[in-house]
Amino acid sequence: MSATTREDAPPEGERVARLVKGCVILLLSAVIIFSRTIAVPALGAVLLSIALFPVVNRAAHLGIPRGLASLGALIGIVAISGGILYTVREPLAQLGERVPEIMDAGQQLLMRAAGRHATATQAPDAAPAALVDALAPVLAGVTATLLAIGTSLILSYFILTCGTGVGRAALTAVRHRHERRNWLRVCGSIRTQAAHYLQLVTAINVCFGLVTGVVLTLLHVKDAAAYGVIAGLMNFIPIVGALVTTGVILAGGIAEHGVTTVVLLPAAAFLMLHIIESQFVTPMLLGRRLLLNPLIVIAGVLVGATAWGRGGAFLAVPILTSAKIALDAHPRFRRWGQVLGRGAVVDCQTDEARRVRLRRKVGGRRQPQPGS
């Protein structure tokens, strides 16, 4: 009995290796969870790199140096984002000046919803002070956001240029051949499905913000382009983002027209656009794959916002989707991927069956023909 137990027990060196691996995983998890300054730029860089990997790989296959292709892709992203913000700079500035009015209108809306009426009015001399108090945290947040974006771009460049070599070296450390094949399948799914998802969702949100701005302009809403930018950004946060954008549009309408039925029309139009996008356009373009459970989405957004602030709220859903794709691609962890939501596992099984057919076809060609 003792001999059998000793044969079944792993060697001492393997147990030490497992212990060290577990400690490293726990340490990295603690750093990611509790260090907002490091976690948000790092996770943003990983997601941006996943989205840009197909572009960089295609450029590298055409003979363009990988470093130059990575730099060009990142510069293109910055140029497109900067061009959009530059186009709507005036509506954004005007909306920023109206922040105190919108906040006061939102307070009135909440008080009316609670059955109370606002009796105190703000003195004229208090308006500049209220503007300074409202813009101070906004400016601080803009500075921190720009710093995080710069850090993410730098990390993305090194991931795009050196990440492939690091990944290959990590796969060589996997001892068993079938486990190495499984992790190769995970990496391939992330490279294709996750990249396709991130690219498509970004394009959908940009178009959604543009359509929202056009519709609100047709409804003669003041600073409609700024609301379109807000709608496009907040659409990265499913369910919660639409509610926040609706509240901002309502508060802006109350600040402009007062508490009247007129302010309900822009908010209703936005909600109609959101229903069309979320229930018809996005499922049709994604083929109803990668459908996360709404409870998982809300829980992920709340956890991300609590742990990492606004950046965590924006990154929660792309992280959950990428994690689901990785879990569905590994045979041992597929049941956990289905806990997050439906889809993706069928695509992984289809890709696996196609690879098996290709291997059999290639193997049949390599076999010598009888009588040759």
Most confident residue range from 108-122, 154-168, 262-276: 262-276
Q: Which residue has the higher pLDDT, 294 or 215?
A: 215
Strands 341-342 and 291-292: what pairing? antiparallel
* Mean pLDDT across 212-225: 92
What's CA 36's distance to the chain center, in Å?
16
Amino acid 227 reads Y
Residues 6+ apart with CB under 8 A from 42: 32, 152, 155
Amino acid 287: pLDDT: 61
Q: Say if residue 197's pLDDT is above 80.
A: yes
Q: Say if residue 191's pLDDT is above 50.
A: yes
Q: Which of 45-59, 121-135, 250-264, 282-296 has the lowest mean pLDDT?
A: 121-135
Q: Cα–Cα distance between 216 and 50 in angstroms, integer?
A: 34
* Mean pLDDT across 96-109: 72
Q: Say if residue 345's pLDDT is above 50.
A: no
Amino acid 257: pLDDT: 80
The number of beta carbons lying within 10 Å of the beta carbon of residue 51 is 22
CA distances to 42, 86, 179, 290, 310 from 318, rounded to whole Å, are: 14, 26, 26, 11, 14
The number of beta carbons lying within 10 Å of the beta carbon of residue 89 is 12
Q: Which residue has the higher pLDDT, 282 or 107?
A: 282
Three-state DSSP class for 123? Answer: coil
Amino acid 120: pLDDT: 46
pLDDT, one tens digit per residue, over 119-154 is 444 444 444 555 455 445 555 567 778 888 899 999
Task: Please report, for the chain, the start and end positions of each structural domain, with discontinuous segments joined by +.
Answer: 38-114+150-356
Q: Say if residue 76's pLDDT is above 90.
A: yes
Q: Cα–Cα distance between 48 and 232 in angstroms, integer?
A: 17
Q: Say if residue 261's pLDDT is above 90.
A: no
Q: How confident is the model at residue 27 (pLDDT cuts 50, 70, 90)?
A: confident
Q: Say if residue 173's pLDDT is above 70.
A: no
* Nearest residue to 277 via CA among 302, 242, 310: 242
Q: How confident is the model at residue 73 (pLDDT cuts 50, 70, 90)?
A: very high
